[in-house]
Amino acid sequence: MNVELFLSYLTYEKRYSTHTITAYENDLGQFVLFGKQVVEDFHVEQADYHLIRQWIVSLMNEGTKARSVNRKISTLKTFYKFLQREGIITKNPTDHVIKPKMAKKLPEFVQEKEMNLLLDGRYFTDDFEGLRDKAVVSLFYGSGIRLSELVEIRYPELNLADKVVKVKGKRNKERIVPFPTEISSVLSGYIRLRNELFPESLNYLFLTGTGEPAYNKLIYRIVRKHLSLVTTIDQRSPHILRHSYATHLLNRGADLNAIKELLGHANLAATQVYTHTSFEQLKKVYKQAHPRA
């Protein structure tokens, strides 16, 4: 009952995305299942520090990655903090739980020359799907927006004259994001054909081949298909285009705080990972170019 109350709080008060709420629900479900295996007639409100530690150890022994374990711990911390605030429990059993350390993983990104090859070459067809796919890839790389933000763009939220798009990010926070001039012509060509083929579909900007709103898996497949033509990196997703956008801006001298605002990050720490990526790139260039490196 209290799990449902918590999920309702996340949905209606915190207004978290469906994806985030599902992750919370799955994590809590796994913990409850573990608790029932260890404690007879287990109730989630009765969990203590030792049971939570047991769960963490069992996850690590099963080979669960530290990043996933940390997310599950964060779920429990948020859940029990909620129960404490609601007066359902008096002591938070996660207060002294320490997250396992994670190895820092630098974000992958597509090289500038590879992006130029894709966007300037003849990799996109001239039909509806080809124009749409190029508009999708161009807007991702030209604005750094998230997958969830792109699929939710409504037609009126795109301003071709001012070269900006209004998107709704995490916590329903809206921001205005600029995009390069050359993308305007790409978007204009797509929109022209889109409106000819589907004159009644004037709500969402990006559509399927049948005029329905584009969905996450379709956009993911579009990006993966086209990035596979120019790069061999393992990750070929919309998020990699976001990484590429931020890394290339930083490499060309953009201010870190400006990049933070463009990406819609809540704090600078999330943006600073790109400084590490750029530094690694600088070291690589140094080793290749310096005669004594």
Residue 274 known to be catalytic = yes
**Residues near 152 by Cβ (< 8 Å), separated by ≥ 6?**
167, 168, 204
CB count in 10 Å sphere of residue 24: 22
- Residue 170 is a catalytic residue: yes
Active site residue 242: yes
Active site residue 265: yes
The stretches of the chain forming alpha helices (DSSP H) are 2-12, 18-38, 49-61, 66-85, 112-120, 128-143, 147-151, 181-197, 216-227, 238-251, 256-263, 268-289
207 closest CA partner among 225, 191, 223, 220: 191
Alpha helical stretches, state H, 154-215:
181-197
* Options 53, 170, 175, 224, the catalytic residue: 170
Q: Which of 72, 132, 146, 163 is the catalytic position?
A: 146
Pairwise CA distance, residues 178 & 180, whole Å: 7
Task: Give the Cα separation of 126 and 189 in Å (integer).
Answer: 10
d(CA 28, CA 42): 13
Catalytic choice (16, 24, 190, 274): 274
The one catalytic residue among 72, 134, 163, 242:
242
Known catalytic residues are 146, 170, 239, 242, 265, 274
